[in-house]
Amino acid sequence: MSRLLASTVAESLLAFWAEAGVDAVLLDAPPDRIAEGQRPLAPRQAPAPVIRGGTQIAVPARPLAIEAAREAASACGTLESLAEAIEAFEGCPIRFEGAATRSVFSRGPADAPVVVIGEAPGAEEDRSGRPFVGKAGQMLDRMLDAIGLTDRAFITNTVFWRPPGNRTPTPEEQLACKPFVEQAIRLVRPRMLLLVGAPATRSMLEQAEGINRLHGRWFEWRATAGDLELPVLPTFHPAFLMRTPSAKAMAWADLKTFAERLDRPGRP
């Protein structure tokens, strides 16, 4: 097996296990948990300051960041004002980590019947300021077109800045951005949500299982404030489908299920 082929196979396997929800590996030696539990706790340290434009900015603690996001999001009555609030928000550390050049909020009609939520912007999205415009985004557009949702889907992500190295956003980073995602759903008022990929599914549904178990199953999403409920279907992220073509048949079955329920008269 050539080095290039071996590298491709290894990358595909790692992507498969990541989408399945595997985020840890076994250690070479078993840790002594009893001894670790007897060690004194280290003192809690304040978040390290961030230097931006020569000015030192204190990164707020997570609860404060979430509360600030809720206040900012709830004050927005339009998607335009919500985009401005996201651009001004400094409670998500990703925006200060060097990979992001701008916030990436959304694309699609403001009255779309469907809201599609992905993971995070990538390099192409970071440059353009619009989500899902790279190769994965082009595949997503083809997926939506296949079920009659061209120009009928509002598309966004769980976080609005590109993580360094295109890493998966942390749950804390997703929580800091979640009030903006929920407010976008309120303003669009869709009939259903489509979640693409494991990170988006775990964030929006607070599910610990991997996407291999969750895809194609219907869930009821409820806003944190309890004022909104919508049917939700998770499926595979198009970037994963590009790396793992064998999963395309399952994704297509998910999309057909989604389209069938969306086409029902009245509330899905």
Predicted confidence (pLDDT) per residue in 138-176, tens digit: 999 999 999 999 999 999 999 999 999 999 999 999 999
The CA-CA-CA angle for residues 67, 73, 76, to 5°, reads 150
Name residue 118's beta-bridge partners: 157
Give 151's contacts (C-beta < 8 A, 6+ positions apart).
108, 109
Q: Is the pLDDT of residue 37 over 90?
A: no
The CA-CA-CA angle for residues 121, 88, 174, to 5°, reads 45
SS3 string, 104-172, reads CCCECCCCCCEEEEECCCCHHHHHHCCCCCCHHHHHHHHHHHHCCCCCCEEEEECCCCCCHHHCCCCHH
Predicted confidence (pLDDT) per residue in 208-245, tens digit: 899 999 999 999 999 999 999 999 999 999 999 999 99
pTM of the shown model: 0.78
Q: Cα–Cα distances in Å, from 214 out to 35, 236, 266?
A: 37, 10, 26
Residue 166 to residue 118: CA distance in whole angstroms: 13
Q: Would you state the pLDDT for residue 61?
A: 45
According to DSSP, residue 265 is labeled: S
Delimit the domains of the chain by residue range.
Answer: 59-262
CATH class of the structural domain 59-262:
alpha beta
Amino acid at 99: A
| Residue 47: band (very low, low, confident or very high) from pLDDT cuts 50, 70, 90 | very low
What value does the mean pLDDT take over residues 56-68? 69
* Better-scored residue on pLDDT, 97 or 180: 180
* Better-scored residue on pLDDT, 11 or 135: 135
Q: Cα–Cα distances in Å, from 29 out to 25, 26, 32, 81, 245?
A: 12, 8, 9, 53, 36
SS3 string, 197-240, reads CHHHHHHHHCCCCCHHHHCCCCEEEECCCCCCEEEEEEECCHHH
Coil, strand or helix at 92: coil
